[in-house]
Amino acid sequence: MSRPLTVAAAQLGPIAKDEPRASAVARMVAMMEKASARGAALVVFPELALTTFFPRWFMADQPSVDAWFEAEMPSADTAPLFDAARRLGIAFHLGYAEIDGPHRYNTAILVGPDGAILSKYRKVHLPGHWDDEPWRPFQHLEKRYFERGNLGFPVVDALGGRIGMCICNDRRWPETWRLMGLQDAELVCLGYNTPQHYPNAPGHDRLQDFHNHLSMQAGAYQNGTYVIGAAKAGLEEGCELIGGSAIIAPTGEIIALATTRGDEVVVADIDFDTCREIRKNIFDFAQHRQPDLYGALVDPAGGAIRKAV
Instruction: Enumerate binding residues for ligand CDV (CB under 6 A).
Output: 47, 127-128, 140, 168-169, 172, 192-194
Rounded least distance, CB 140 to ligand CDV, Å: 5
Query: Of residues 98, 142, 166, 168, which has the active-site annotation?
Result: 168
Query: Of residues 123, 236, 239, 275, which has the active-site annotation?
Result: 123
- d(C-alpha 258, C-alpha 305), whole Å: 40
Indicate the DSSP class of residue 212. Answer: H
- d(C-alpha 152, C-alpha 94), whole Å: 18
Nearer to ligand CDV by C-beta: 119 or 193? Answer: 193
CB 83 within 8 A of CB 72: no
Nearer to ligand CDV by C-beta: 35 or 239? Answer: 239
Kindly list the distances between the CA atom of residue 203 and the CA atoms of 104, 196, 199, in Å, as whole numbers in the listed order: 33, 11, 9
Query: Of residues 47, 98, 186, 264, which has the active-site annotation?
Result: 47
Rounded least distance, CB 184 to ligand CDV, Å: 26
Nearer to ligand CDV by C-beta: 229 or 250? Answer: 229
Rounded least distance, CB 242 to ligand CDV, Å: 8
**Catalytic-residue membership of 168:** yes
Q: Which of 138, 187, 203, 146 is nearest to 169 (CA)?
A: 146
- DSSP secondary structure string for all residues of 249-290: -TTS-EEEE--SSSSEEEEEEEEGGGHHHHHTTTT-HHHH--
**Catalytic-residue membership of 47:** yes
Nearer to ligand CDV by C-beta: 15 or 85? Answer: 15
CB 285 within 8 A of CB 184: no
Rounded least distance, CB 111 to ligand CDV, Å: 22
| Catalytic positions | 47, 123, 168
